[in-house]
Amino acid sequence: MPSLSTITDLANLKVEPHNKLKMDKAMPTLLDQTASKIVGQPINRLHGNLKVCGQATFTAEYHLDGQLYGVLVCSTIGKGEVIELITETALKSPDVVDIIVDFETFIRNPQQGGQKSAPAQGTDKITYLGQPIALAVAKTLEAATEAAKAVQVRYKDDSDNGAFDFEAEKANSVMMDGVPIKKQGEPEEALADAEISVDKVYYTPSQSNSPIEPHASLATWQDDELTLYTSNQMLAPCKQQMADALGIKADKVRLISRFIGGGFGSKLGIAPESVAAAVAAKKLGKPVLVVMTRPQVMETTVRRSNTEQRIGLGADKDGKIHTIIHDSTITNLPKEVFFEPTALSTPFLYAGENRQIKYKMVRMNQVLAGSMRAPGEAVGQIAIECAMDELAEKVGLDPIELRILNEPEKDPSKDIPYSTRQLVACMQTGAEKFGWDQRRTRPASVRDGEWFVGMGMAVACRVNHLQKSQARVTLTLNDEKLLGVEATIETDMTDIGTGTYTVLAQIAADMLGLPIDHISVQLGDTDLPPGSGSGGSVGAASSGSSVYLACEKLRELIAEQVGLDADTVQLDNGIVIRKAASSDNKDDQNQDDQNQDDSSLVDTIKSAAEEKAKAIATDVAEKIATKAGLAVERKEKPQFGDDDQRPLHQVIAQCQDNTLKALGEIKPGKTEKDYRQGCYGANFVEVGVHAYTGEIRLRRMTGVFTAGRILNHKAATSQCYGGMVFGIGSALMEEIVHDKRNGRLCNHDLAEYHLPVNADVPQLDVVLLEEDDQYTNPIHIKGIGETAISGAAAAIANAVYNATGIRVYDFPIKLDKLIDQLPDLPETATDATTAMSA
């Protein structure tokens, strides 16, 4: 297999056929023209049966001959230095092999997403409680666990100088390098002069990613080459991080993550168990498996930063917003560059000529703050959307009307158009489905027995991006398949439970005219072409586009083989045919017309120029090829009659090695700068708040979202359920409690860190509006994963206010924050059952 550097090396012309696209302009999509329409269908996960039967092998389930077990020894102080490790007792047990100490190489904390270098090393310096120090290795997990406990660590304890108490440390907040204040107009002045304003501070606590599969790595060396079975979201950067941490070349590292039990951002970079396993395996000459315990996942990987957000909204008396201020204070370990980007969508969510976005960082000796599902928007929109609810009340407008009134025509910060934006449609559809017209404006005016009942809404908004991503698709003969041919997708893209395997297969199935069971998908191995990985909701769009582009190239190659042009070839159920003329194919034609209408004259001119450039480039390449003695084959063009049909397997049988393959590559381009790309939605919630105890129960929740085309309605809907449930946790339960004396994570397991369980989740209703976005990528999709969580918690908070008249600014909203303010249950209150059926 050629390495990537050779694939991209122009001097080497023995390149495999490829199709590379930089998204510089609107692109039509062939998905409109395929014979089958598997894309979009709610088909089941390809590996669903394997997973529920326990047959999908996750990292901790691999077993290699002679494998040893490692358990991390973690710091019990929050700041200081390690003086000495006393290991005699730990080494006494017959099954214990070694206590591995390598202060220089071990990593102190995980790496942030996408980085190419190792995270902080030097584990003798303690920067937070829970930081790894050493690894106890034994023949059994039990012996390793006991040994890790028996290691005694002598510290120089500097906890007196530790930063453990946010309130106390806030005074030391600093601006970060490279994160200047963003300012338009005169926000502070305009807010002070506003006819109507809201100026409030919201607090959201640290939260734990804690995916269902704990972080785990199994390291094995063959000479100087490391293979690491691990649980990572983004393999290509993680491979570089591993190499950098170990001081070896990246081509000596292979990462394998075929199945991943969630990540939520905590597996974007390598975590401490990976380097520890690799160091131990090298030293001991045997494979070493390290699986974090649940408390270690929570104490030694990633949290979402707590935030303190000031939202200032200034409007005229009619509710027209002219000023938006979003100032955030967030936390992280010393020197870490990541900051919770709370105001990611603040520049473009609502209209307004005065705007300010400011971040201040407080350095804390607490577990690393990093990406957690919808970093930024998930908590940033809690603040913005609660403030909008308050403004609506002050202006005397319905919350939806206020938002419609402040709907911008263009991105108000950059003066660029939106690629697509259906926020108003999401709100209106949601209002109708949910029955928003039955909401009583006056708080605490609806009851159901001993419960106050209220309704709230908030919008969802999340930026959309594309990442460079590659995939190879290979067509081969396979007698076991009904149509005699099989397509194999290869990319180091991951499936963290989102359904990547399935949606990539759907794209290839339509593009190649094959049933889904004729597509095999190989993911999660750095020996495969590097994909985007799973993060920032870019995975499906980026890796899906690379698969699409590889398939597009295969269609061209097939067309060439049979004597058709690329734009006349149609692949239908294993048969190559000429694409039907417009009369037989009205839908396609209409769609073409539509695309034509949509693309501006400029685009047309641009694309003509690019076609020409392409032709010249091909010509040049051929000339160079001839010079290099690699004559470009020029065969006699075969004939293909109008009614001809050629089985695809016959075509493949005529190809060299009975194989046809192509590499696809997508890259972000100008459309990301020229068009504001985002996903939009709206969440609607009905809550009950118990009039005497303050207990809060969700009664129902409706979410309406847009994310371009939907690849798989079942998988996309599941993503939205997940986001809405995250919103419930964020509004009502989730909160890391750090001990203010030493930073210890007091609630470091899933018994004490409260998450919504089934009984906390009411009927969730998800609607995905139709959308098509030709500026995002050649498959016209947007990232759905992190959209539904954004703002979901605000909808709940706003419903709690509508139910009780109490606004809580300090999340999560728990009964103790309501109980002493609850109004009396008025006898005249409208009974919910009457109100709801009215």
Contacts of 334 (CB under 8 A, 6+ apart): 127, 363, 365
- Contact yes or no for 379/372 (Cβ under 8 A): no
Positive or negative CA dihedral for 463, 468, 474, 475? positive
132 or 375: CB nearest ligand MOS: 375
Q: For the purposes of burial, counting CB atoms within 10 Å of the CB of 769, is it exposed (0-12), middle (13-18) or buried (19 or more)?
A: middle
Strands 307-315 and 196-204, bridge-based pairing: antiparallel
With CB under 6 A as the contact rule, which of the stretches 70-78, 140-148, 264-272, 486-494 interacts with ligand MOS? 264-272
Question: Which of the residues 223 through 252 are near ligand MOS (CB under 6 A)?
Answer: 233
Question: Would you state the structure tokens that stand for residue 245, as one six-digit string?
Answer: 């941490």
Q: Compare residues 254 and 303 and give the one whose CB is closer to ligand MOS.
A: 303
Query: Whose Cβ is closer to ligand MOS: residue 147's or residue 372's?
Result: 372
**Pattern of binders to ligand MOS over 501-540, x per CB under 6 A?**
----------------------------------xx----
Q: Which stretch binds ligand MOS (CB under 6 A): 68-76, 259-267, 324-332, 600-608?
A: 259-267
- The residue (of 70 and 265) whose beta carbon lies closer to ligand MOS is 265
Quote the distance between the C-alpha of residue 424 and its chain's center: 25
Output phi, psi for 781, to 5 deg.
-105, 165
Output the smallest distance, CB 265 to ligand MOS, in A. Answer: 3
Stretch that binds ligand MOS, among 323-331, 367-375, 420-428, 693-701 (CB under 6 A): 367-375
Distance of closest approach, residue 785 Cβ to ligand MOS, in angstroms: 8
Query: Of 680, 690, 731, 701, which is closest to residue 435 (Cα–Cα)?
Result: 701
241 Cβ neighbours under 8 A, 6+ residues apart:
111, 115, 116, 117, 118, 119, 269, 270
The piece of 70-78, 88-96, 261-269, 293-301 that touches ligand MOS (CB under 6 A) is 261-269
Burial of 749 (0-12, 13-18, 19+ CB in 10 A): middle
Site string for ligand MOS, 128-157 (x = CB under 6 A): ------------------------------
- Of positions 123, 241, 371, 476, contacts ligand MOS by CB under 6 A: 371
Reading phi first (left if > 0) and then psi (alpha if -120 to 50, else beta), residue 482 is in: alpha
Query: Is the CB of 271 or the CB of 651 nearer to ligand MOS?
Result: 271
Hey, which residues between 766 and 805 contact ligand MOS (CB under 6 A)? none
3-state secondary structure of 681: strand
Phi, psi for residue 92 in degrees, rounded to 5:
-65, -35
User: Residue 304 or 355: which CB sits closer to ligand MOS?
Assistant: 304
What pairing do the DSSP bridges indicate for beta strands 763-768 and 225-230?
Answer: unpaired
Residue 265 near residue 535 (C-beta atoms within 8 A): yes
What residues contact residue 324 under an 8 Å CB cut-off, 6+ apart? 187, 311, 312, 313, 314, 346, 350, 352, 354, 355, 356
What residues between 1 and 30 interact with ligand MOS by CB under 6 A? none
- C-beta of 535 vs 703, nearer to ligand MOS: 535
Find the shortest distance in angstroms from Cβ 189 to ligand MOS: 36
Q: Which residue is nearest to ligand MOS (CB)?
A: 265
Task: Extract the tokens encoding 746.
Answer: 């007091």
Angle among Cα 538, 260, 372 to the nearest 5 degrees reads: 50
Alpha-carbon torsion 296, 300, 303, 307, what sign? positive
Q: Residues 86, 164: contact at Cβ < 8 Å?
A: no
Which C-beta is closer to ligand MOS: that of 356 or that of 776? Answer: 776
Q: Which span sits near ligand MOS by CB under 6 A: 20-28, 131-139, 309-317, 372-380?
A: 372-380
* Interface characters, 533-572, with ligand MOS (x: CB under 6 A): --xx------------------------------------
The owner of tokens 């070839």 is 569
Span 433-462, contacts to ligand MOS by CB under 6 A: none
- CB-CB contact of 749 with 298 (8 Å): yes
Contact indicator for 833, 708 with CB cutoff of 8 Å: no
Least distance from ligand MOS to the Cβ atom of residue 494, Å: 10
Cβ nearer to ligand MOS, comparing 187 with 376: 376
Per CB under 6 A, the segment of 263-271, 544-552, 592-600, 664-672 that binds ligand MOS is 263-271
How far apart CA 792 and CA 789 sit, in angstroms, is: 5
CB 509, CB 515: distance < 8 Å: yes
Q: Is the peptide bond before 812 cis (omega within 30 degrees of 0)?
A: yes
268 in contact with ligand MOS (CB under 6 A):
yes
Residue with tokens 């001081």: 247
Task: Considering the complex, state which of residue 708 and residue 783 has its C-beta at the smaller distance from ligand MOS.
Answer: 783
Q: What's the closest the beta carbon of residue 300 comes to ligand MOS, in angstroms?
A: 18
Closer residue to ligand MOS (CB): 132 or 533: 533
Count of Cβ atoms closer than 10 Å to residue 567 Cβ: 11
- CA–CA distance, 701 with 331 (Å, rounded to integer): 32
Contact with ligand MOS (CB under 6 A): which of 276, 279, 357, 372? 372
CB under 6 A: which stretch of 2-10, 84-92, 223-231, 368-376 binds ligand MOS?
Answer: 368-376
CA 268, 273, 276 angle in degrees (round to 5)? 130
Residues 373-402 close enough to bind ligand MOS by CB under 6 A: 373, 375
Q: In the bound complex, what is the minimum distance in angstroms from residue 496's beta carbon to ligand MOS? A: 8
What single-letter amino acid sits at 17? P
From 260-268, 441-449, 730-738, 787-795, give the range in contact with ligand MOS by CB under 6 A.
260-268
User: Contacts with ligand MOS: how many residues (CB under 6 A)?
Assistant: 11
Other beta carbons within 10 Å of 337 = 12
Say how many residues make up the chain: 838
- Shortest distance, position 255 Cβ to ligand MOS, whole Å: 17
Q: Which two tokens stand for residue 656?
A: 């060299």
Q: Which of 169, 189, 786, 827 is catalytic?
A: 786
- The two beta strands, 321-332 and 354-363, are parallel
Please, which residue, 299 or 377, has the CB nearer to ligand MOS? 377
DSSP letter string, 148-189: HHH-EEEEEE-GGG----HHHHGGG-BPPTT-PPEEES-HHH
Q: Which is nearer to ligand MOS, 262 or 352 (CB)?
A: 262
Type of residue at 648: L
Contact between 545 and 471 under an 8 Å Cβ cutoff? The reply is no
What is the C-alpha separation between 472 and 740, in angstroms, rounded?
Answer: 52
Find the part of the chain contacting ligand MOS (CB under 6 A) among 262-270, 283-291, 417-425, 562-570: 262-270
Q: What is the CA radius of gyration of the chain?
A: 28
Does residue 786 have an active-site annotation?
Answer: yes
Mask of contacts with ligand MOS, 322-361, x by CB under 6 A? ----------------------------------------
Closest separation between CB of residue 498 and ligand MOS, Å?
A: 10
CA 381-385-389 angle, to 5 degrees, is 170
Paired tokens of 154 = 């002598």
Active site residue ranges: 786
- Which residues here bind ligand MOS, judged by CB under 6 A? 233, 263-265, 268, 371-373, 375, 535-536
